[in-house]
Amino acid sequence: MLSTAHPSRRGVMKAAGLTAMTALGTGGVLASASAAHAAGDGFGLRIVDRNESDARMRYFRFATSAIGWNPGVNVLLPDGYHTSGRRYPVLYLFHGGGTGQDFITFDRMGIRAWTAGKPLIVVMPDGGAAGWYSNPVHSNTGARNWETFHIAQLLPWVDANFRTYAEYNGRAVSGFSMGGFGALKYAAKYYGHFASVSSHSGPASLRRDAGLVTHWANLSSAAVELGGGTVYGAPLWDEARVSADNPVQRVESYRNKRVFLVAGTSPDPVNWFDTVNETQVLAGQREFRGRLGSAGIPHEWHEVPGGHFVRPDLFRRDLDGIVARLRKA
């Protein structure tokens, strides 16, 4: 949901594919995906800023008609990527909501250390302060089509510019809070894209408690993202859109996927924001887990003490599970 990570916890092909891949995007022939070749434009994305000097972390900023400003993305490469010649599975990792959250969030938290030695590419894009990983019903601030940016543009761009497995068993999606909702949503709506989905303190039910999460998505997006516009429509919702995005209404879409869920059981009683967030997360995830269980869909879940913040130990456990589920480098 709309939140920031708790500041006190922040520290806290079977054979290798050896040939370069060339792909055709909307801008023409893209750069080769070989280790020695710089990434290029395509799929509606034009690179306007970049830094590829770091051995592992690649930074890009794009101009795109999907978003009214230039969103950024960090692409974290595995150790040895430049010399291995291998292809790798990819994790798309989404930040939570709030004005202090962006594509750098997980780098600040320690994602480089968490992934050291793991054969996995991690893609961390902007998702807006309250974008809710959605194309809104209405915006007064220009284009804010985050779903289009992530799924129709960024995903194929990554596959064209890096040595990935461009297939179901080659991708996972995960996130915290609002990003955890985005992960659940994308995994269901785009079933053939992701073999593993993880939600760390992300809401899983849009309609429970008179639609509290949907109302919050509308209010938060109106306040800090859309200049009074909303994700789902107000005063009346776009009911079909809510149903399409609602994890508890898309249970069959999680079959044959690895599902990993985390929720806190004891939010800070003094911090009303923490209490409202994680109380709703916990209730929604329990509802979701109940439906998964009734459908016979395996899932791993963790209810742990504390409220609405990132838990590095469970992120590391999740990363190990992601690597085990996806196609090997």
Q: Which sequence positions are flagged as catalytic?
A: 177, 274, 308
What are the backbone angles phi and psi of residue 202, rounded to the nearest 5°?
-105, 140
**Whole-angstrom distance, CA of residue 326 vs CA of residue 188:** 17
Neighbours of 141 (CB within 10 A): 14
Q: Residue with structure tokens 């996806």?
A: 326
Cβ–Cβ under 8 Å, residues 312 and 5: no
Token code pair at residue 218: 């509308």
What is the H or E stretch that residue 183 is in?
helix 178-189
Residue 43 CA: distances (Å) to CA of 277, 288, 295, 307 = 36, 34, 37, 39
Amino acid making up residue 26? T
Given phi > 0 = left and psi -120 to 50 = alpha, else beta, which region is 171?
Answer: beta
DSSP-H helix ranges across 192-305? 208-224, 239-245, 272-294
Residue with tokens 């929720």: 263
